[in-house]
Structure 1
Amino acid sequence: MIWLIGCKGMLGSEVAKQLDEKKLPWVGTDREVDITDPQALLDFTNKIDTAAYFPSDLPRGDRKIQWIINCSAYTNVDKAEEEPELAEKLNATGPLNIARVARSIGAKLIHISTDYVFDGQGNTPYTEDMAKAPLGVYGRTKAAGEDAIMKEMNTYYIIRTAWLYGFNGKNFVYTMTKAMNSHDSVRVVNDQSGTPTFAPDLASVILRFIDKNDNAKSFFGKNSAPAYGVYHFTNAGKTTWYDFASEIYRLGRKFGRITQECTVNPCTTAEYGANVQRPAYSVLSKDKISKALKIKIPEWQNGLEKFMKSERFRTE
């Protein structure tokens, strides 16, 4: 049994979709189970064995929680500076509580983290063992969440990602598409580098970690389980926000998502006037995860094209 926390969010909803497609037993929670309340998490694990959550024909052995996937987080980078206590509760205290529950029931944990744990002052892809040096509240609280999990348990996978977008919820692609449909020109920063991540691709990687550990059912082929620890995943390649936006415009025109001409203009972060300092270089090395899972990571342009031509793309 898999417990998916944050099942209604941008990433969580993709994980849920793929769990259903693979017919894996799972239960999802969102805000109705408060991760900042240890007792609420424990109460849920005590209830989960009841028939109310599962079909009557699901064997009781399949109702034991073996995995917890935590896709919940406080992700508003700018607002985190105004709400540091809330960001701390959701990004640090919450993962600590989840890790304690996972350890108490003997479950493995998959937790999603971020490139913001680094300061972005480098110029080569960040590897998992590089020192963390977050710049703002969001990055500091996510780093604290990682540290709490590492201190509390051993059977975990922390997956750092960056520039995430998907079908459910707000993201850069939807924001740019809307702006390009309503303005003759847009300005996008051209001095921040990183790699976009298509949420379904990350969701697939999350389930691959589970598959590599569980030998009873294999969807990707049987291989040895990856070592526990920290991994990086984004799509492959490197770009800037400006070049990302330019590709959004090109594909948007190609697939009819953008119905008018719009000029995409580059600018510096200083010219844009950002309120919060962001990593200037956020490229994450994927060598470790590629070798551990034996996967070829798709290019970011491929993920974006799949997204923009999909029937699931929101047009409102």
Structure 2
Amino acid sequence: MAEPIHILVTGGAGQVGLELQSIGWPEGVVLHAPTRAELDLGDAASIRAAFAAAPFAAVINAGAYTAVDRAEGEVAMAFAANAMGPTVLADLTRAAGVPLVQVSTDYVFDGSKTEPYVEEDPVGPLGVYGASKLAGELAVLAGNPRSVVMRTAWVLGVHRANFLKTMLRLAAERPVLRVVGDQHGCPTGARDIAAALKVITLRMIADADAPTGVYHFVNAGETTWAGLATEIMARSAEAGGPSASVEAITTADYPTPAKRPANSRLSTARLTRDYGIAPRPWQDVVAEIVAELNAERAAA
């Protein structure tokens, strides 16, 4: 009988971490997703202890400090989890000779480009969160030559808090939703992100020469937050769930502590070329999540 393949997943209680645990893995793969009490990305000693728990064949770092606005006032906390944590993981995985897959974000860009961003485009984070995630990217790429940084954006799912679930909750409370309509991006399913991470990680474990470096993964197509909200409302109404009308407003109408990029669109051509991953349309993701949440509500 073949030896089990152990994979360490950080951020197991997050949107992507939960999906990584629920999607099917090949027989023999054992996923380890320690709780934050067991693996705190802001605590180097706890990272080392978690990594020593099994002979890991790879690490997927799906954990992060993600409170974008709060990060403006919690700089040290954001950098501890998003920069120091990946630095420690890069050192540990390099020493063990195993790959590291790091989840990153569109917030490394300033949003001033008019076309979708490609991996080589200049970075320029607008806030602390983006800067801390960029520092993590650089640490991973410099610290372990067998690493992939996978940037994603506008994450939606059935688990935890996210924009889609917030819109459905608000639609049950008010007739009109005022949503920003001048920020453009690519809504992306947490389940789809997990599936892409699975493909990359298994390939890197099996093939020492698997492609490395920075990749973008988002679902196909683009919209604004107001456009996404409109689609969510339409799908929810079809499924017999809460719905409201959507009024597009400007970023200036909805000030936040952290600035958001006006353009978060990411090109996924490199990922398709190197790993054969072709993202499905974001509208399919919205329909799937809304249907799942509606079924849960109906069963409750």
Decide: shared fold, TM above 0.5. Answer: yes
228, 237, 242: which is aligned to 1:253? 237
Shift of the 109–264 alpha-carbon distance from structure 1 to 2, 3 Å rule, reads same
Shift of the 148–312 alpha-carbon distance from structure 1 to 2, 3 Å rule, reads farther
Residue type of the alignment partner of 1:255: A
Deviation for aligned residue 1:106: 1.9
Aligned to 1:240: 224
275, 279, 283: which is aligned to 1:301? 283
Aligned to 1:228: 212
CA contact (8 A) 2:99 2:144 kept: no
**Separation of aligned partners in 2, 1:74 and 1:125:** 25
Aligned to 1:178: 169
Residue 269 in 1 paired to residue 251 in 2? yes
**Separation of aligned partners in 2, 1:130 and 1:11:** 25
Residue type of the alignment partner of 2:39: V
Deviation track 1:273-301 (CA, whole Å, cap 9, x = no partner) reads 33321100010000000111223210000
Say which SS state the counterpart of residue 14 (structure 1) adopts. helix
Shift of the 99–314 alpha-carbon distance from structure 1 to 2, 3 Å rule, reads farther
Aligned to 2:134: 143
**Separation of aligned partners in 2, 1:92 and 1:137:** 11
Say which SS state the counterpart of residue 52 (structure 2) adopts. helix
CA contact (8 A) 1:41 1:101 kept: no
Say which SS state the counterpart of residue 69 (structure 1) adopts. strand
Say which SS state the counterpart of residue 282 (structure 1) adopts. coil
Aligned to 1:27: 32
With structure 2 as the length reference, what TM-score do the two structures score? 0.92
Deviation for aligned residue 1:5: 1.0
Deviation track 1:7-49 (CA, whole Å, cap 9, x = no partner) reads 111110101112557662121113122222222222233333x
26-35 vs 194-203, which moves further: 26-35
Identity fraction in percent = 34
Deviation for aligned residue 1:237: 0.5
CA contact (8 A) 2:18 2:159 kept: yes
Aligned to 1:57: none
**Separation of aligned partners in 2, 1:162 and 1:125:** 12
Deviation track 1:176-203 (CA, whole Å, cap 9, x = no partner) reads 0000110011100110000000011111
**Separation of aligned partners in 2, 1:313 and 1:75:** 29
Q: How many residues align?
A: 292
Aligned to 1:169: 160
Deviation for aligned residue 1:126: 0.5
**Separation of aligned partners in 2, 1:302 and 1:266:** 22
Aligned to 2:3: none
Aligned to 2:112: 121
Say which SS state the counterpart of residue 25 (structure 1) adopts. strand
CA contact (8 A) 1:165 1:172 kept: yes
CA contact (8 A) 1:212 1:225 kept: no
306-315 vs 168-177, which moves further: 306-315
125-134 vs 25-34, which moves further: 25-34
Residue 42 in 1 paired to residue 48 in 2? yes
**Separation of aligned partners in 1, 2:57 and 2:161:** 31
**Separation of aligned partners in 2, 1:40 and 1:277:** 32
**Separation of aligned partners in 1, 2:287 and 2:208:** 33
Deviation for aligned residue 1:169: 0.7
Shift of the 22–207 alpha-carbon distance from structure 1 to 2, 3 Å rule, reads farther
Gap runs ≥5 in structure 2: 1-5
**Separation of aligned partners in 2, 1:65 and 1:135:** 35
CA contact (8 A) 1:19 1:26 kept: no
Aligned to 2:265: 283
Gap runs ≥5 in structure 1: 49-63, 216-222
**Separation of aligned partners in 1, 2:205 and 2:60:** 15
Aligned to 2:95: 104
CA contact (8 A) 1:180 1:262 kept: yes
175-184 vs 15-24, which moves further: 15-24
Aligned to 1:10: 15
With structure 1 as the length reference, what TM-score do the two structures score? 0.87
Residue type of the alignment partner of 2:8: W
CA contact (8 A) 1:37 1:97 kept: no
Aligned to 2:71: 80
**Separation of aligned partners in 1, 2:155 and 2:99:** 24
